[in-house]
Amino acid sequence: MSLLLRGGRVLDPAGSVDRTADLLVEDGRIARVEPGLDAPAGCRVIEVAGRIVAPGLIDPHVHLREPGQEHKEDLETGTRAAAAGGFTTVCCMPNTKPVNDCRAVTESIVRRAREVGAARVCPIGAITKGSAGEVLADFDEMRAAGAVAFSDDGRCVMNAAVMRRALERARALGLPVSQHCQDEHLARQAVAHESAVAARAGLVGEPAAAESVIVARDLELVELTGARYHVAHVSAAASVRLVRDAKRRGLPVTAEVTPHHLTLTDEAIASGDTSTRVNPPLRGADDRDALWEGLADGTLDCIATDHAPHSPAEKEGGLGAAAPGLVGLETALALGLRLVAAGVLPLARLIAAMTVAPAGAFGLPGGTLAPGAPADVVVIDPDRLWTVTPAALHSKSKNTPFAGWELRGKAVLTLCGGTLTHEEA
Ligand code: DOR
């Protein structure tokens, strides 16, 4: 099958491309990107003038809940949500039931995703068995089965000696370790960021230092081991400073930030909406401003949704009782475009943070429109106005704090390996 996307604004930060051109897909690959291409016989032509043609988006941090918690999400619904959001590759965290800490679970995720997935699924294996923080999981086996990185996400590896060994093992394999940086003692029983907002709501808060003390410790271990290290969902200004400094010193560190930490502050929890309970918590405006700066200057390499579906029952009982997390795959792009419209960062930087940057940090396929690359492509209508309607989300779970928000910009067509995974008029 061949497909010609005609007359769009081709934006491919990997190749420093930003121009009006046609993009021809043949046999699942990008064949040519040039103005004025003729459509080969039998080729479907789609007019995309006024739209942005970019590499398919890549999310280095999602929770797809399969195996074991399919009442929240599964590989089919999670990847459909991904495709609808413009994503062609997602990295799924190992806090499934059972935890993805061995070859059999990694293999089953890869196999199921191939059968039912609407996006490429790259599993992240657990750092420790059961993500219990004590005994290292078998990295070699998980890598052989398709793991692209290791993380105990949802929990922090608190034991520095265990973290050191994990970094050494990952370094031997050339894969990154993604840390959920949160000192469990500083964060004990916390529901929110430690601030006046939390105090007024009667909620236990954790200081931003709960995150940054672990970032600081781990960067020492990166210096010791030389391993590739990735900071998951950065939320604190101090963490941004530490990562910026580490990069200046040449350490192999990358970092991600979520659309919700870029968009909301702790003020949002005052609504009592349990979708605003998330881990790490929404922080103050100073932290949010530092995230903006860090994303714009490249200190924070990637945008990651931390898509964390939960059922209504798990989000009941008020902020203190609700499970932390929110669904993010279908709102990420529009929230990013909102930051571009507000002048926080240029469009090309946003697209880079959602394509070539995560591809580079995790060694993933895609992230480029170079001829010969797999045809992982998103077409974005930058002017499309739409209202976030939980019932209309493809995800099985509807826990979004953005319900009712009117957003501008939407993925209107997604191609994964040349196959249409999402199309709307
Ligand atoms: O809010 C969160 N939810 N943060 C995490 O780190 C884990 C995630 C989940 O699995 O629900």
Q: What is the CATH number of the domain that holds 385?
A: 2.30.40.10
| 301 assigned to active site | no
Within this chain, do residues 255 and 382 fall inside the same structural domain, yes or no? no
Q: Which residues pair with 410 in a beta bridge?
A: 381
Q: Give dist(CA 125, CA 100) in Å, integer.
A: 6
What pLDDT is recorded for position 89?
98
258-304 pLDDT, tens per residue?
A: 999 999 999 999 999 999 999 999 999 999 999 999 999 999 999 99
Instruction: Select from 265, 289, 260 the least CA-distant residue to 192.
Output: 265
CATH of the domain at 142: 3.20.20.140
Ligand 1 centroid to Cα of residue 362, in Å, is 20
pLDDT of residue 166: 98
Indicate whether 34 and 67 sit together in one domain: no
Same domain, yes or no: 383 and 327: no
- In-domain check, residue 368: no
Q: Among residues 343, 362, 381, which one ends one of the domains?
A: 362
Q: pLDDT per residue over 326-359, tens digit each?
A: 999 999 999 999 999 999 999 999 999 999 999 9
Identify whether 67 is preceded by a cis peptide bond (ω within 30 of 0).
yes
Count of beta carbons in the 10 Å neighbourhood of residue 28: 16
pLDDT value of residue 363: 97
Check: CB of residue 345 under 8 Å from CB of residue 296.
Answer: yes
Q: Are 264 and 401 in contact (CB under 8 A)?
A: yes
Minimal-distance CA residue to ligand 1 atom 1: 325
Can you list the residues of the chain whose pLDDT is less than 70? none
Domain count, the chain: 2
Question: Looking at the structure, do residues 320 and 393 belong to the same domain, yes or no?
Answer: no
Asked if 155 and 140 sit in the same domain, the reply is: yes
Is the distance from CB of 182 to CB of 214 less than 8 angstroms?
yes
| From 22, 301, 306, 381, active-site residue | 306
Distance from Cα 73 to the centre of ligand 1, integer Å:
14
Q: How far is the CA of 325 from the centre of ligand 1 (A)?
A: 5
Q: 38 lies in which domain range? A: 3-53+373-423
Pocket of ligand 1 (CB under 6 A): 63, 95, 153-154, 180, 278-279, 306, 308, 324-325
Same domain, 42 and 95: no
CA-to-CA separations, 44 to 5, 6, 9, 88, 424, in angstroms, rounded = 9, 10, 19, 21, 16
> How much of the chain exceeds pLDDT 90, in percent?
99
Choose the final residue of a domain: 334, 362, 390: 362
Whether 367 is in a domain gets the answer: no
> How many residues are recorded in the chain?
425
